[in-house]
Amino acid sequence: METRELTVLAGSFVGFQLLFSVVSPRLSIVITPGYGRLPATKLTEWNSRLVSTVHALIVGLFCLYILWFDDVVNADPVWGDPSLVKLNVAITCGYLLYDLVLLACNWSTMGDGFFVCHHLAALYAYGYVLTRGVLPYFANFRLISELSTPFVNQRWFFESLKYPRSHRLVVLNGVAMAAAFFLVRTAVMPSYWFSVFATFGTEAFDRLGLGAQVAWISSCIALDILNTIWMYKIARGCYKVLTGRGGRKPKDTVEMEASSEGKRVNNHAD
């Protein structure tokens, strides 16, 4: 890994830590009065999701720029000049490491096995991009999926502030979330895998070596399985809201769930 990418990765890790522990609490209390009334466990997750949204916007928009304007990468998806992609991947790896540390420190309330698998698979694959500069087009294509994350986090913000699920903003965000998740994570699967299969048997693919090939294909399969599971959950939730089945739960059900709230809070698998 070159000094530039290592510096960006370290800066990303530290920057997201500061955003979580310093910037988010101070900014959120000013913008959202309800933030100060949340329990401690939800304050932690609130800050975590705000950081997640900032990361998603930075990386997602950078991905679109590369996809539209980086002709070298688009012309050679396996060995094209990875300069810009490596910077974006370094930002993401810094974020993934920060988030793994956060999950480990708050496992009893934020622990999520699916998301740990997601992070580890991504780090495993992106490590090849950073160290060998291979597969820049495919790495960039994968990161575009982050553009669905702000809508997922916004849904959690609404729920934490006790917005009714029938509220217009909640419904609009829910529909936007389902649409965005489908477009950038599910609908692109056939196109992505067509591009992957098109490289099989080529000289460029053979030059990767078995290690990079396995890391690339296995991580993509794992991520797409997780994305399919999450798409199903989101589609089911969106259907309930649109059909009027997602309103407030009966009081006794709410009380039962509140009694176990301190045991586990789902942070990411929305």
Q: What is the pLDDT of residue 172?
A: 93
Looking at residues 95-123, what average pLDDT do you find?
A: 88
Q: What is the pLDDT of residue 259?
A: 35
CA atoms within 13 A on the CB side of 93: 23
- Based on the number of CB atoms within 10 Å of its own CB, is 181 exposed (0-12), middle (13-18) or buried (19 or more)? buried
**pLDDT exceeds cutoff 60 at 212:** yes
- pTM of the model as a whole: 0.83
Looking at residues 8-21, what average pLDDT do you find?
A: 96
* Span of 22-31, 41-50, 207-216 with lowest mean pLDDT: 207-216
Report CA-CA distances (Å) from 16 to 10, 23, 52, 147. 10, 10, 9, 18
Distance of CA 90 to the CA centre of its chain: 15
Separation between Cα atoms, residue 85 and residue 64, nearest integer Å:
11
pLDDT band, residue 166 (cuts 50/70/90)? confident
| Identity of residue 139 | A
More confident residue, 216 or 258: 216
